[in-house]
Amino acid sequence: MITIDLIRHRYLEYRRNPQFYGNTLAKVMMYFAGLMFAGYLLLFGFITPSMFGDLFPAYEPYHIIGKWFAVVLAVDMAVRFMYQKSPSSGIKPYYLLPINRRRLVNLLMLGNVASLYNLMWLCYAVPFAAISVTRFYGFGGFMSFVCAFMLLILFNNLLFITFRVLINRSVWFVVLPVVVYLGMIVAVAVSDGVVAPLFVTLGDEMASHGWMVSAALLPLLALMWLAAYRLVSSVLRQELAATSAVEGRARVTDYSFFDRFGDVGAYMKLEMKMVMRNKNCRTQFILGLVVIAMFVGLLFAGAYETTFMHSFALVYVFSVFGIMILSMTMSYEGNYIDCLLVREVSILTLLKAKYYLQCLFAVLPLLAVIPLMVDGSVAPGTCLALYLFTCGAIFPLVLQLAVYNKRSASLNETVNVKSSNVTGINTLITMVALFVPSLLLTLLDALLDQLMTNLVLAVMGLAGMMTSGRWLGNIYGRFNKRKYENLEGFRATR
């Protein structure tokens, strides 16, 4: 009975959320993305057997998928982090009720493991096994391979629960999954004589003795379930027992450097405090640093061979902070928007402070790409031009969301995807800010030499920076026209 109640409560939570009826485009795009992901898995399931056969004639396709199964698990984990939430986020309200807590935690973990997303991997496993395994081991081999494949995906799901709970406790735990999956992939790529044969054997055993592999995975799944259960229960007990009292004197950073800039400096101090002191804002900041380091590492290793992907990675390195933080403009402020509106033109001053602070943050990617400039992978002029273009063209585009964001975003509480601030216009502007500059850079590289390309980007960026007063005033004027509509939305979603 409690299982049915939990399912019904989740459905009612989704339907009664104030964003349910105002987020139609975002829901359609989310469902479309799910269908596209399933379609790609199905396509790869049909084409990878023949592709592996052509690239590695000495091996069978199931040997290769076994060798590089760490890549499959890494992709699976990355997708889960983008949309799937931790089961611990829905348990707290039920802890106040006379319900067996062990059963409650187990049921919510089971709901996470039994999600439809896990079944999507059948779109890859079934055609791959039908083409590459059936001709050698028949229908029994086909079934055993699919069973072992799905059990590994479920094991990865339990790992995700563990990582997600740890990251919710401290964002620095984001390093853990990166080390685990990147370590496995690097180990397979580097040590052909030690680690790679073990994974090749895994693929062979999944095809020839899949039932034995599945039987060996079951106790591992049970142990992983127990570990995840104990972790979730422990974290919940600590959170429920925690108090708001702070022992000792807390260290306070005043950011007095900004005092010299008057009212704008005061709002810049508020922005810095919001980013550094609130959980969700601080998480965005740290994740931005991790993403910058990851893309700089990929560029340094020469992972992007095509011009477009190289341009996309460069643009992403410079714009990730602005896109992550400025896309939430006025959403965090929606929690205290009434206080901001007490003073005249305080919103305009806030917008100026946000823009200037993001231009300051954009110096961090400029410092991060110094190894690329020393190595010769990227010219110093290109980096400077991209910095100016990011500040003068990309940031003004993303700041347009200050007019259209009308849903408050929590500063500290974890928010799941279904109730997040992502809307259709938010997604559209973010996609334009990510991909259009990459296309522009690729086009300019094809038509002009490097010096002229850098000059065009720098001029566009400087034009945007020098006219910041005009377009910020335009954003402020359009915000005032929608002020009461936005206020209603902010108050309804706090």
**469 lies in the same domain as 331:** yes
**322 lies in the same domain as 349:** yes
**Predicted confidence (pLDDT) per residue in 416-431, tens digit:** 444 455 667 888 888 8
**214 lies in the same domain as 314:** no
**412 lies in the same domain as 476:** yes
pLDDT for 244? 43
pLDDT for 418? 46
**440 lies in the same domain as 303:** yes
d(CA 444, CA 456) in angstroms, rounded, equals: 9
3-state secondary structure of 168: helix
d(CA 185, CA 48) in angstroms, rounded, equals: 19
**234 lies in the same domain as 263:** no
Q: Quote the domain boundaries for residue 380.
A: 257-492
Please check whether residue 246 lies inside any domain of the structure: no
The Cβ of residue 156 has, within 10 Å, a number of other Cβ atoms equal to 19
**Residues of the chain where predicted confidence (pLDDT) is lower than 70:** 1, 3, 7, 10-11, 13-27, 29, 85-93, 95-96, 192-193, 239-253, 301-305, 413-423
Would you put residue 472 in left (φ > 0), alpha (ψ -120 to 50) or beta?
Answer: alpha
**232 lies in the same domain as 281:** no
Where a domain ends, among 241, 266, 293?
Answer: 241
To the nearest 10 degrees (0 to 180), the angle between helices 346-361 and 262-277 is: 60
**293 lies in the same domain as 147:** no
**237 lies in the same domain as 355:** no
d(CA 401, CA 289) in angstroms, rounded, equals: 23
**Predicted confidence (pLDDT) per residue in 236-275, tens digit:** 777 666 544 444 444 556 777 787 888 888 888 888 888 8
pLDDT for 27? 64
Number of domains in the chain: 2
Q: Which residue has the tokens 């990227």?
A: 378
- The pTM of this model reads 0.64
**Residue 20 exposure: Cα atoms within 13 Å on the Cβ side:** 8
d(CA 170, CA 393) in angstroms, rounded, equals: 34
**203 lies in the same domain as 271:** no
Closest CA to 347 of 473, 488, 482, 492: 473
The answer to whether 401 touches 329, Cβ cutoff 8 Å, is: yes
**199 lies in the same domain as 292:** no
DSSP 315: H
Where a domain ends, among 183, 214, 241?
Answer: 241
**135 lies in the same domain as 212:** yes
Please check whether residue 281 lies inside any domain of the structure: yes
